[in-house]
Structure 1
């Protein structure tokens, strides 16, 4: 029987935003990032999260860890050295004047 695992790949609002411990999905929602970006960040910085459970090992974060994640994220994008990942630029719309030239 196949199970629907899409819930693990999308941020979910927590029951209480001020609770002590949150799952990875709740942390991503509170910090305003995707779960895949947060997983990559936590893989590079394992001290910023705790793991709960057995083989599945649910990823949990405490208040202090969420504050540290926010500080790391605010310091910039470690992949490119920029302040934040840049959004992709759309090509400029063609106008009649430039199309005729």
Structure 2
């Protein structure tokens, strides 16, 4: 039986690994597409991020309903994109000093 502390350490390692993966995806997509998220945010504000995140949530709902894959995008891919969009929105809000702590 694993102690709570051991499970927490394992969870922390998994979290760290996912965060590293998120950062690698962020860098790769910015290399491919430029900083289109920040540019859209500057032009349209928070709604630009909300729309992107809503698209991903709708995709996630469809994937969950049908236990299927949408043209080369899995549930994991969708969740990673959602996580990155959340982080990127937080970055934009922090740039403006609007992180609502």
TM-score (norm 2): 0.27
Structure possessing the higher radius of gyration over alpha carbons:
1
Give the structure with the higher percent helix.
Answer: 2
TM-score (norm 1): 0.27
Greater RCO, 1 or 2 (C-alpha within 8 Å, sep 6+): 2
Give the structure with the higher percent strand.
Answer: 1
